[in-house]
């Protein structure tokens, strides 16, 4: 799994508390578990709402795993690291 | 199930799971926003919105507060990066410096805001600050307009989160005005110090709690101490006061300490070398709330010269008063002596030669003549006798006197005569000057009972006017006659009093106390000066300054008195004016015997009346100078209105200077000094008629 490039996209809403929390958690998880082999894109809905529609996002924060497939979503502030990892590993 | 169904089922399960997760997240408050698919805008959840708003407001509030602080601060705030570039400048700093914030940001602080002369020095200090030394500094900044302002800076280091130094933050206070005020105070203090130093005013201050006294260098000098030599103790101060003044000074200070009243005290300082100085000290004690002395401050002025002058002035006044008294007594006394001598001579002439009466009468005459000598001395002292001043070679006089002086002083005293080869003539009465020299030489002899050296010197000197001398000196050329001895010398007290009449240090019966006062009177009446210089054990020197005559006076040589012509029978008529009946009677008797016809008048008015009646027959007026009512000179001027050629002979035992000058007496007009002998008087009358 570490050989495969992990592509993630995190939808947030400005500096709202759960969004801030989610950014910090996502960044930490990527550094710790995917090291050099990942891409984490952060999309602020307040700035770019249209992209949320394209990805079918209905709430923030939402973490979207785009690659490797299948596409997976983790809803919330990403405090539960184990659950995040389990969801991302679910193929 | 078909494969598509499975996929559909899996997708459904995933979406359900996502929905559950979404709901769970919503319930647990982990969701910030929901996307409204219809408007394609995110709807922030209320708590999220509130939180967002709150956080934004907090940020804005903090930013505003910081900005407000920066803008309203009345100190200059300047942040510099480690290279000295300006990173922040608040509104006040901009106002002081004359730049806008955008203009300042990024500029080099040292190049922009400091005068070239200060740049290097301040840059060095900036380096020290960056190395962590706490910095409080004051330096001038230059405004955009070129004006310099003095700013006091307090600086700290700016660090990032990791503690790395990223620059400095300095707050500056414009202290230009304060600095100018401080300069003004300093300048005023310097002026004050200069004034006190120029006026030679010493300053002291005492801390009454510790007893420590501080003295200025001038005050130390006033007590004969080197700068910094005073140890600050009251005991040392007390020891420097003259013992005779100490108790009164300490009492005065003690009273001031108790009452807080200002004090002023005149006292003497006794220097270690024995010098005595007069000091006038003033002080003030500052009391605490309970009346206890806290601090005393004061000044001191050396008034020695003034004090000495005052003493000399008082002495001069005393001499003047005694002189007037003496001359008054001498006048009356001379009239009495004239009568005694004259009538005694008459009786004596009739007494049988070799009889007891003749011998007794001779004793009376001797005593009266001796008394007459005393009154002459008194008159000399009071400068009331008539001097016949003439140009005189003092060297010749001294040489002629040497033989006599040698006999006078004896062989145990060596006499050294140092006469200036070229000496101006001095204007003096020869006989009186002889008297002066005799008096001084006799005193010198008495001061050297065991032998010693007497020096007599002459030389020309020029005296200049001096305001520091109590006698108003007439500037000009003088002959200086110095008579010095190596005898016992005198202390200051004796020196002050030596010219007083009847002051003597000799045993009773050995001196009249008139010698030096006579000397003083003669010299002063000759328009000269006599000053003494003496110290106990070091001998005494008298310096006599005799004026040189002006060029037009040098030719006026007074002829020696003509040898008395043989007595011949007189036949002229004399008007005799004298208020003292005894003297008048005597003079009439002498004139009668000589053959004159005598008309007597007791005063000026009588004389005028008699003259009006016998004007044609009167050949000579013999008149007293000083009489009640109309005096001799005034009488003569009245009589001369009708008889311009009228001749006169004045007589007096008391020659008032004003009367003498008015009549020109002493400058060649006939004058006979009382007391006189019959022969003297007759001769003077004859001379006056024969002129």
pLDDT per position as a tens digit, A34-83: 877 888 899 988 888 778 878 888 888 999 998 888 888 888 889 888 88
Nearest to B35 by CA among A26, A78, A11: A11
Residue pair B521/B383 in contact (Cβ under 8 Å)? The answer is yes
Shortest distance between the Cα of B49 and any Cα of chain A, in A, equals: 7
Contacts of A79 in chain B (CB under 8 A): 30
* pLDDT tens readout for residues B461-505: 988 876 556 667 888 889 999 999 998 888 888 887 788 766 666
**Chain B: residue whose CA lies nearest to A22:** B30
Q: Do A49 and B42 make contact, defined as CB atoms within 8 angstroms?
A: yes
Confidence of residue B60 (pLDDT cuts 50, 70, 90): confident
Residue pair A22/A77 in contact (Cβ under 8 Å)? The answer is yes
Interface residue B7 vs chain A (CB under 8 A): no
Q: Which one of A16, A53, A74 has the shortest CB-CB distance to B52?
A: A16
Confidence of residue B559 (pLDDT cuts 50, 70, 90): very low
Chain B segment 37-76 residues within 8 A of A by beta carbon are 37, 40-42, 44, 48, 51-52, 55-56
Instruction: Determine the pLDDT at residue B48.
Output: 59
- Model confidence at B566: pLDDT above 50: no
Confidence of residue B414 (pLDDT cuts 50, 70, 90): confident
Instruction: Quote the ipTM score.
Output: 0.85
Rg, chain B, Cα only: 53
Instruction: Determine the pLDDT at residue B28.
Output: 79
Residue pair B93/B78 in contact (Cβ under 8 Å)? The answer is yes
Contacts of A61 in chain B (CB under 8 A): 30-32
Shortest distance between the Cα of A1 and any Cα of chain B, in A, equals: 22
- Model confidence at B565: pLDDT above 50: no
CA distances from B375 to B433, B512, B677 (A): 18, 12, 15
Confidence of residue B278 (pLDDT cuts 50, 70, 90): very high
Shortest distance between the Cα of B13 and any Cα of chain A, in A, equals: 13
Mean pLDDT, residues B240-265 taken together: 90
Interface test with B, best of A10, A12, A14, A51 (most B CBs within 10 A): A14
Mean pLDDT, residues B519-529 taken together: 86
Q: Do B35 and A52 make contact, defined as CB atoms within 8 angstroms?
A: yes
CA distances from B347 to B361, B479, B514, B679 (A): 8, 48, 33, 15
**Contacts of residue A49, Cβ cutoff 8 Å, sequence gap at least 6:** B35, B40, B41, B42
Q: Which one of A13, A50, A73 has the shortest CB-CB distance to B48?
A: A13
* pLDDT tens readout for residues B315-334: 777 777 777 777 777 777 88
SS3 B302: strand
pTM of the model: 0.39
Contacts of B26 in chain A (CB under 8 A): 59
Mean pLDDT, residues B385-413 taken together: 80
Strand segments, DSSP code E, in B160-275 are: 165-174, 201-207, 213-215, 263-270
Measured CA angle at B67 (ends B62, B71), to 5 deg = 150
CA distance B264 to B259: 14
Mean pLDDT, residues B526-551 taken together: 87
Instruction: Determine the pLDDT at residue B158.
Output: 83
Pick the more confident residue, B379 or B340.
B340
Mean pLDDT, residues B27-55 taken together: 70
Instruction: Determine the pLDDT at residue B658.
Output: 44
Q: Which one of A45, A52, A59 has the shortest CB-CB distance to B25?
A: A59
Q: pLDDT > 90: what percent of chain B? A: 16
**Chain A: residue whose CA lies nearest to B59:** A15
Mean pLDDT, residues B260-289 taken together: 90
Mean pLDDT, residues B221-228 taken together: 93
- Model confidence at B529: pLDDT above 70: yes
Interface residue B492 vs chain A (CB under 8 A): no
Average pLDDT of every residue of chain B: 81
Confidence of residue B220 (pLDDT cuts 50, 70, 90): very high
Instruction: Determine the pLDDT at residue B542.
Output: 93
Q: Do B35 and A53 make contact, defined as CB atoms within 8 angstroms?
A: yes
CA distance B139 to B132: 20
Mean pLDDT, residues B357-375 taken together: 83
Q: Which two tokens stand for residue B485?
A: 């001895």
Interface residue B187 vs chain A (CB under 8 A): no
* pLDDT tens readout for residues B131-154: 876 577 888 899 999 898 989 888
Q: Which one of A46, A59, A73 has the shortest CB-CB distance to B34?
A: A59
Q: Which one of B24, B41, B51 has the shortest CB-CB distance to A17?
A: B51
Q: Which two tokens stand for residue B608?
A: 């005028």
Q: Do A75 and B42 make contact, defined as CB atoms within 8 angstroms?
A: no
SS3 B278: strand
Contacts of B48 in chain A (CB under 8 A): 13, 16-18
Shortest distance between the Cα of B20 and any Cα of chain A, in A, equals: 10
**Chain A: residue whose CA lies nearest to B56:** A15
**Chain B: residue whose CA lies nearest to A79:** B30
CA distance B526 to B546: 7
Confidence of residue B3 (pLDDT cuts 50, 70, 90): low
Confidence of residue B70 (pLDDT cuts 50, 70, 90): confident
Q: Do A17 and B32 make contact, defined as CB atoms within 8 angstroms?
A: yes
Confidence of residue B557 (pLDDT cuts 50, 70, 90): very low
Shortest distance between the Cα of B22 and any Cα of chain A, in A, equals: 6
CA distance B558 to B441: 27
Q: Do A45 and B35 make contact, defined as CB atoms within 8 angstroms?
A: yes
Confidence of residue B271 (pLDDT cuts 50, 70, 90): very high
Confidence of residue B410 (pLDDT cuts 50, 70, 90): confident
Instruction: Determine the pLDDT at residue B1.
Output: 47
Q: Do B35 and A75 make contact, defined as CB atoms within 8 angstroms?
A: no
Pick the more confident residue, A7 or B654.
A7
Q: Do A59 and B56 make contact, defined as CB atoms within 8 angstroms?
A: no
**Contacts of residue B244, Cβ cutoff 8 Å, sequence gap at least 6:** B268
- Number of residues written out for chain A: 91
Q: Which one of B18, B31, B44 has the shortest CB-CB distance to A73?
A: B18
Give the strands of the sheet with B476-485, arranged side by side: B413-419, B452-463, B476-485, B540-547, B529-534
Confidence of residue B4 (pLDDT cuts 50, 70, 90): low
Nearest to B378 by CA among B422, B334, B343: B334
Q: pLDDT > 70: what percent of chain B? A: 85
Contacts of A73 in chain B (CB under 8 A): 18, 21
DSSP B33-65: EEEETTTTEEEE-HHHHHHHHHHHHHHHHHHHH
Q: Do B56 and A52 make contact, defined as CB atoms within 8 angstroms?
A: no
CA distance B231 to B237: 9
Q: Do A52 and B41 make contact, defined as CB atoms within 8 angstroms?
A: no
- Model confidence at B248: pLDDT above 80: yes
B366-375, B392-401, B468-477, B535-544: least confidently modelled range? B468-477
CA distances from B620 to B463, B561, B611, B654 (A): 46, 21, 11, 22
Q: Which one of B22, B35, B55 has the shortest CB-CB distance to A15?
A: B55
């Amino acid at each position: 799994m570490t050989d495969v490039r992990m592509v993630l996209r995190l939808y947030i809403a400005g500096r709202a508390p759960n969004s801030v929390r989610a950014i910090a958690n996502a960044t930490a998880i990527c550094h710790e578990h995917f090291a050099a082999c990942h891409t984490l894109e952060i999309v602020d809905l307040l700035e770019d709402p249209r992209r949320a529609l394209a990805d079918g996002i209905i709430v923030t924060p939402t973490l979207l795993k785009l690659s490797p497939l299948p596409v997976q979503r983790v809803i919330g502030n990403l405090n539960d690291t184990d659950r995040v990892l389990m969801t991302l590993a679910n193929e | 199930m078909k494969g598509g169904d499975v996929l559909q089922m899996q997708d459904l399960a995933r979406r359900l799971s996502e929905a559950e997760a979404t709901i769970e997240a919503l319930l647990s408050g982990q969701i910030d926003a929901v996307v409204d698919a219809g408007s394609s805008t995110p709807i922030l959840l209320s708590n999220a919105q509130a939180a967002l708003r709150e956080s934004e407001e907090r940020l804005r509030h903090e930013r505003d507060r910081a900005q407000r602080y920066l803008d309203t601060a009345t100190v200059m705030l300047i942040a510099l990066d480690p290279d000295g570039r300006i990173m922040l400048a608040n509104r006040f700093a901009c106002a002081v410096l004359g730049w806008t914030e955008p203009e300042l940001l990024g500029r080099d602080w040292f190049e922009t805001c400091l005068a070239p002369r200060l740049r290097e020095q301040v840059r060095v200090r900036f380096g020290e600050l960056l190395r962590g030394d706490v910095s409080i500094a004051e330096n001038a900044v230059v405004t955009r307009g070129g004006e310099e302002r003095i700013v006091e800076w307090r600086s700290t280091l700016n660090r990032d989160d990791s503690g790395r130094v990223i620059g400095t933050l300095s707050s500056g206070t414009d202290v230009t005005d304060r600095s100018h005020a401080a300069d003004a105070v300093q300048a005023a203090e310097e002026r004050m110090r200069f004034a006190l130093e120029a006026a030679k005013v010493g300053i002291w201050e005492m801390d009454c709690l510790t007893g420590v006294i501080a003295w200025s260098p001038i005050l130390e000098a006033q007590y004969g101490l080197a700068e910094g030599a005073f140890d600050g103790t009251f005991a040392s101060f007390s020891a420097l006061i003259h013992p005779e003044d100490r108790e009164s000074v300490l009492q005065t200070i003690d009273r001031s300490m108790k009452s807080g009243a200002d004090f002023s005290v005149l006292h003497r300082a006794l220097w270690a070398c024995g010098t005595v100085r007069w000091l006038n000290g003033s002080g003030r004690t500052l009391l605490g709330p309970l009346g206890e002395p806290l601090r005393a401050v004061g000044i001191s002025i050396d008034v020695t010269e003034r004090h000495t002058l005052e003493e000399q002035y008082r002495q001069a006044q005393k001499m003047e008063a005694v002189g007037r008294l003496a001359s008054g007594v001498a006048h009356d006394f001379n009239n009495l002596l004239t009568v005694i001598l004259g009538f005694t001579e008459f009786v004596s002439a009739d007494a049988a030669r070799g009889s007891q009466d003749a011998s007794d009468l001779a004793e009376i005459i001797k005593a009266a003549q001796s008394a007459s000598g005393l009154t002459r001395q008194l008159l000399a002292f009071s400068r009331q006798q008539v001097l016949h001043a003439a140009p005189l070679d003092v060297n010749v006089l001294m040489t002629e006197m040497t033989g006599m002086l040698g006999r006078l002083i004896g062989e145990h005293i060596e006499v050294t005569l140092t006469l200036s080869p070229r000496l101006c003539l001095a204007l003096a009465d020869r006989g009186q000057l002889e008297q002066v020299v005799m008096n001084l030489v006799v005193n010198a002899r008495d001061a050297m009972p065991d032998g010693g050296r007497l020096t007599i010197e002459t030389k020309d000197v020029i005296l200049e006017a001096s305001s520091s001398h109590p006698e108003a000196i007439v500037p000009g050329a003088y002959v200086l006659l110095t008579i010095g001895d190596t005898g016992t010398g005198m202390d200051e007290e004796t020196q002050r009093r030596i010219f007083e009449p009847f002051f003597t240090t000799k045993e009773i019966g050995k001196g009249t106390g008139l010698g030096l006062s006579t000397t003083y009177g003669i010299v002063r009446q000759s328009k000269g000066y006599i000053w003494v210089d003496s110290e106990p054990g070091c001998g005494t020197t008298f310096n006599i300054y005799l004026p040189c005559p002006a060029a037009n006076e040098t030719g006026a040589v007074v002829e020696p008195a003509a040898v008395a012509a043989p007595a011949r029978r007189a036949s002229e008529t004399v008007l005799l004016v004298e208020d003292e009946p005894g003297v008048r009677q005597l003079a009439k008797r002498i004139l009668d015997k000589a053959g004159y016809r005598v008309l007597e008048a007791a005063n000026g008015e009588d004389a005028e009346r008699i003259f009006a009646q016998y004007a044609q027959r009167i050949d000579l007026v013999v008149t007293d100078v000083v009489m009640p009512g109309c005096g001799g000179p005034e009488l003569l001027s009245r009589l001369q209105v009708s008889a311009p050629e009228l001749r006169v002979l004045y007589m007096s035992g008391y020659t008032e200077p004003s009367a003498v000058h008015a009549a020109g007496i002493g400058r060649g007009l006939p004058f006979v000094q009382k007391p006189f002998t019959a022969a003297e008087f007759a001769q003077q009358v004859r001379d006056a008629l024969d002129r």
